[in-house]
Structure formats: C-alpha cells, structure tokens
Amino acid sequence: MVNFALTVFGVDWVFLKPYIVLGLALGGVYALSGVGVVVLYQATGVLNLAFGAIGAAGALIAYYFVNHTSLPHWFAYLACIVFGAVVNVAYGMVFGPAFAGRDPLVKMMGTLALALILLGVMAWRAPAGGAFVRVLQLPTSNDRYAVFGAVVTLTQIIALVFAFVLTIGTTAFLRLTKIGTAMRALASDREITATLGVPVRRVELAAWLGSGLVCGGAGLLLADLFTSLDYTALTFLVISSLAAALIGRLRSLWVTLAGGLAVGFFQAVATPYASITNYRTAAPFVLAIVALLYLGRHRTVTLSRTAG
C-alpha cells in the first residue's frame, strides 16, 4: 500500500481523503434534485420551487404508513413516490394551462404558493415534537461500505447512481423517443410546436409525471440521508439544489449533474480547513454565482417578456 505523506494546503491527505467520498455522496443528493428540476423546466418552463416540499410531504406519508399501520414497508415507499407523481400531475393539469402564457417568474411563484400551502399543512398536521423526531430509515441504510477512510451507506450509493441513471435515461429519452423529441421541441418554442400538431398538454403532463416520480424518490432518499424528517429543511433545500440547476444554466442535464457533484464535493472538502469551514454551507451559492457569471459572460439582450 502506498502511503501518501501529502499535505494539501495545510491539511494532511489522510484527514482529507474521507471528505472527498462524503462530498460525492452529498453531491449525489444535490445532483438528483437539480436534474429533476431542470427536466421539468425544460419541458414546461416551470421552475418547481415546491420540489422539496412535495418530497417532504411524501416522506411524511411514508413515515405514517411505516409507524402507524402494519402495511409492508415497500408499500409506504411506493406511496411516497406515487404521492409525488400525483401532486405534480394534479398541479400541472389544474394550473399548467392557467399559467401557460405567463412569465417564467410568475410560473415559479405559482409553485412557491404550492410550497407554502404544503408547508403550512405539514406543520399543522404533523407538528414538530419537543422530545421526539420522525425518523425514516430505508432498509438500504444498514449496508455500509468503507471507502477511502470514510463509510458510505447503500442509500448514498443509490442516490448517486440514481442521479447518473436519471441523467443518462432522460437524455436518451429526450433524444430517442417521440415524446422526448416533443418535449425538446416544447422547450425550444412552444407556439410553433403547438402548430405542428404536437399534443402539447399531454407532453407537458408526461413531464410533470416524470418529474413527480423523481420528486417522490428524492424525498425518500433525502429523508433517510437527513435522519430526522425536518420538512422545513427539506422544503428549502430546494434553494441549494437550484444552485446545481443554475450551474447547468437550466439547460444541460450533464452539466447539472456535474454541478451538483461539484457543489457537494467543495462543501465537504472545505470542512477540515479551519479558515473557511464555517462558510462551507455557502458553497452551493458561491459556485452557482461563479458559474452563472462565467458562463453568461456574453451579453444577452431580452427580446421578449416570455422568454426564459
């Protein structure tokens, strides 16, 4: 075994190693949420700020099934994923047409309204306890693997793999299938796509459905990775996940994935450096700002109010 007697900016390599692994695991979480958000945005023009809230509500439902009924656990997990899909599709069906021609900012604020309502309902029906917390542990968290001096659970690996599979799968889907092509056309220009006879509403609903399934799945994984089901934290985690989406400029899925991994990586690797460790939770924000400014360095001029 070759031992590196290496110091990186004053921190021993031995101490730094595990954070790289932990960072990639954390990045998988950001990447997953980011890709889910970008896919929906590309197909419908809606930046879904309720992504975290829907996932948290689904996780609460799964928690209820696991702890207050004798239904099998896989049913509870399925319920969470289905809930995500149902809420997303319902929102898309009811409010999609209403917001169709509006500014992307207005569409985004609509999802904020949904997030606030969900948060209010969750806080009302499942208030935070003083002496207890809700813990939703997936069975895959019992499998642990030692990598590079850190320990990674199977759940974290699943989150990372899921992010990759989602990116590959969605890219292939968008390129190779009819609906996928229709979604890309929609993202490019809605008006022309409609005149070409593409069933716009149905394609949009398909996008909402897919995004909803990811939402529910991400909610389960995040609830497990955070240990305590803190629905406020989960709801506003979307702000950090947006950073990954912004690095991909709300367009490229692969760059979003890489961005999410980068955010997780930098946030974790900053931990052992005493001078910046207290600021490491700003990593998503700083990286997003840097990426946007660098990638957007050619001046753009807005031609129309409704363009994203």
Per CB under 8 A, 293 contacts another protein: yes
d(CA 115, CA 111): 6
Per CB under 8 A, 10 contacts another protein: no
Tokens 């991994």 found at:
261
Per CB under 8 A, 67 contacts another protein: no
Per CB under 8 A, 279 contacts another protein: yes
**Residue 286 Cβ, how far from another protein at the closest point, in Å?**
6
Of 58-66, 94-102, 176-184, 187-195, the window that binds another protein (rule: CB under 8 A) is 94-102
**Residue 241 Cβ, how far from another protein at the closest point, in Å?**
11
Per CB under 8 A, 98 contacts another protein: yes
Per CB under 8 A, 163 contacts another protein: no
- Contacts (CB under 8 A) with another protein, residues 174-233: 226-228, 230-233
Of 62-70, 160-168, 197-205, 244-252, the window that binds another protein (rule: CB under 8 A) is 244-252
Of 13-21, 57-65, 179-187, 199-207, the window that binds another protein (rule: CB under 8 A) is 13-21
**Residue 279 Cβ, how far from another protein at the closest point, in Å?**
6
Per CB under 8 A, 151 contacts another protein: yes
Per CB under 8 A, 13 contacts another protein: no
> 34-53 mask for another protein (x: CB under 8 A)?
-------------x-x----
